[in-house]
Amino acid sequence: MQLLTPLSKVLRTTKEYIEVLHGMKLETVQDLLLYLPRAHEDLSLMHTLGSAPLDTKVTVSGVVESLRLIRTRTGKHLVTGKFTDSDGITCEVIWFNQPHIKRMIADGETVVLTGKILENGYKLQMQSPTFEKAGRGDLVHSGRLVPIYPQHDKINTKWMREKISSIKECIKDLPETLPEDVIKEEGFLSRADAVYAMHFPDDPTQVQKALDRFAFEDLYAIQIQALGQKKEWQREKNEKFKVPMKVDLIKDFFTSLKFTPTDGQKVAIFELLTDMERDVPMSRLLEGDVGSGKTLVATAVIANVIEHGGQCAFMVPTEVLAKQHTESIGKTLVGFYNYCQKKGISMRCPKVALLTGSTPKSLGQEIRDQIEVGNFDLIIGTHALIEDKVQFKNLRLVIVDEQHRFGVAQRDRLKAKGSPHFLSMTATPIPRTLALTAYGHHDLSVLTEKPGNRKPIHTKVVSPADRMRIELFIDTELEAGRQAFVICPLIKESANEDFAEIKNVEAEKKRLDASFSHRRIAMLHGKMTPQEKENIMRSFKEKEYDILVSTSVIEVGIDIPNSTIIVIEGAERFGLSQLHQFRGRVGRSDAKSHCFLFTTNPEQARSARLKAMEKHDSGFQLAEIDLKLRGPGEMFGLRQSGIPEISVANLLNPELVVKARKAAQKYLNIS
């Protein structure tokens, strides 16, 4: 028998069971050995009938006699017998609807029973205990820490224990997956010893040692993969990658602003510029809560690149956001240039271009021609930036906003246009340990402070019964000249009955037209053309509408300072991180802002998960709550990225994550 031997050749079982194992992706001896228990039950303490507590699961050893198969009036079968322990104390034992027991145990056989001892009148009784014959080698189901395997409709944990026990001799052949020096340094069990300890532990400390080893192994494998990608990205060393940090330029940039950057922004800018002074391409993730000022950090770095004659590409997921960035970043760079002109400071005049899918054909070709000869310093756009026909003269920096919305292949296509430095930015607050795991191919910069004196956003979970009161308040705010977002989960009414109560944009627009007939209301959703969306957003920003009813299309980056209210319908359908993203669309001015989370029914309004939105305004705290509740795959879409399902407890263990990362760095010889 070998590790790769098919289970059909080594297990004594039926074809039906082999097919079930196949459905569980258990094909070989190795597959079955690596099917680890989910828990362990301590049945190591052997009792006698006299010492065992009543009505508590215990294990006793003794002899069974007088076994009888009885058929009841209702056609059911009982197997009864007398059990006598080593002290000579007896009890009645009875199995319900298990006639096969009579064939499996012979009168006078010594067995180990596990179950509860009950008092039935003057007699002791055990009902349907599990049993195991004694004296035939090591006990499998009792007398030890007993493994409990994940439940399956057909295959129960007892069956699994028996089959794994029958192939345990192969555990010693399992190949090692960790380097020998890591095992020694960390004091881990070998892989074979850890697997054996999970299936056949002597005590709880062995199980914990095995669990520690497997937790580390999971994270180590991910770090090896992530850091391997980083090493591949930085494989080429070349002086051409170096972009020196012009300290005086950055100081002048800060002075040109109408506000003081936060300490976090200054640190992030320094980290980025330091990375770009090296002879390998930067690979960094800039993570910041909603409104933390990531765009300003990017703009400072862009200014440094432009001053050295390099080009920058800034790719964003939507045309609305591309246009917004073109206006805001362009305005900041031109403002900096004008400041330098007044102060007599030498600086290149920045030239910024916008390139998206809806750019007219002739204009698009003209822009591409100018990019190729180096007449544009900063090009902001959507996926249009990675088209083959877009060629750069001297691409030195690529920035991707909300990286998780782009595929690896798309990022690689940008890399191929010049092996530039790479900065990824996200407003999705990711717990640091998860960021080091899921995005471990990047170094990490984190912004936690918010610029200026922005006031906390008043957040309230609202039951449907309180709708009228809240809408009266909203109308008062609109009367004062403010604007409001209304977010719905669906675009239009669903044919699916399960979604009948869920709010949709089209129906809500009609309802609000009637309820707020004196207000100007627009709607926005993903099925509109880019031009339609841009027109609506521009009109809303210019205060031509009071209320904008939208789907989650407004989640990323929309900046309307005059909007101080956001209503989120069907709030229970969104994760906390996404709700926090929505909430970040308001609170962008000095005015007090409000976020109302409407639930579909009253019970949902009492949800502890939604109430967390009232208590916490930190996206990082909410992200940790979300991670515990929903798991990393659901939360960050990591199922597609090759990240395996691993314990949330492991992801929230900073010491373990950092330990795995350091070990992987040492193994790959990465500083």
The tens digit of pLDDT for each residue in 105-161 reads: 888 888 888 889 998 888 899 998 888 777 665 666 666 778 888 878 788 888 888
Asked if residue 643 has pLDDT above 50, the reply is no
pLDDT at 45: 74
157-182 confidence digits (pLDDT tens): 888 888 999 999 999 999 999 999 99
| pLDDT for position 402 | 74
Q: CATH topology for 45-143?
A: OB fold (Dihydrolipoamide Acetyltransferase, E2P) (2.40.50)
Distances (CA, A) of 559 to 483, 582, 629: 12, 12, 30
Domain with CATH 2.40.50.140 in the chain: 45-143
pTM, two decimal places? 0.68
Give the Å distances, CA to CA, from 113 to 76, 83, 155: 23, 9, 21
DSSP symbol at 668: H
Are 575 and 342 in contact by the 8 Å Cβ rule? The answer is: no
The identity of residue 615, as a single letter, is K
Q: Percent of the chain having pLDDT more than 90?
A: 41
Task: Give the confidence band of 417 by pLDDT, cuts at 50, 70, 90.
Answer: confident
Q: Any idea which residue has 């004008």 for tokens?
A: 338
d(CA 90, CA 83): 5
255, two tokens? 């002075």
Range list for CATH 3.40.50.300 in the chain: 239-427, 458-616
Q: Looking at residue 384, what is its pLDDT?
A: 82
The CATH superfamily holding the domain 458-616 is: P-loop containing nucleotide triphosphate hydrolases (3.40.50.300)
392-416 pLDDT, tens digit each? 999 999 998 875 555 566 667 766 7
* Residue 636 clears pLDDT 60, i.e. is over it: no
Q: Which strands form 421-426's sheet, in the order they lie side by side?
A: 352-355, 378-381, 311-315, 395-401, 421-426, 283-288, 443-447
Whole-number pLDDT of residue 334: 94
**Taking residues 455-473, what's their average pLDDT?**
93
Residue with structure tokens 């595929």? Answer: 407
- Work out the mean pLDDT of the chain and round it to a whole number: 86
As a residue count, the chain comes to 671
CB contact at 8 A, 606 and 593: no
Contact assessment for residue 417 and residue 395, using Cβ atoms and an 8 Å cutoff: yes
Instruction: Tell me: pLDDT of 545 over 60.
Output: yes
> Does 338 or 623 have the greater pLDDT score?
338
- In this structure, of 3-17, 40-54, 625-639, the range with the lowest mean pLDDT score is 625-639
Rounded Cα distance, 644 and 486, in Å: 36
Region 660-671: what's the mean pLDDT?
84
Amino acid in position 141 = H
User: Which CATH architecture best describes the domain 239-427?
Assistant: 3-Layer(aba) Sandwich (3.40)
Tell me the C-alpha distance between 76 and 85, whole Å: 29
Model confidence at 638: pLDDT above 50 = no
Cβ contact 201:171 at 8 Å: no
Q: Among 397-411, 413-427, 596-610, whose mean pLDDT is lowest?
A: 397-411
- Reported as type and span, the H/E element at residue 595 is strand 594-598
Amino acid 472: pLDDT = 95
Over residues 288-303, the mean pLDDT reads 89
At 56, the pLDDT band (50, 70, 90 cuts) reads confident
What residues have CB less than 8 Å from 347, skipping those under 6 apart? 249, 307, 336, 337, 340, 341
Contacts for 530 with CB less than 8 Å, ≥ 6 apart: 319, 320, 356, 357, 358
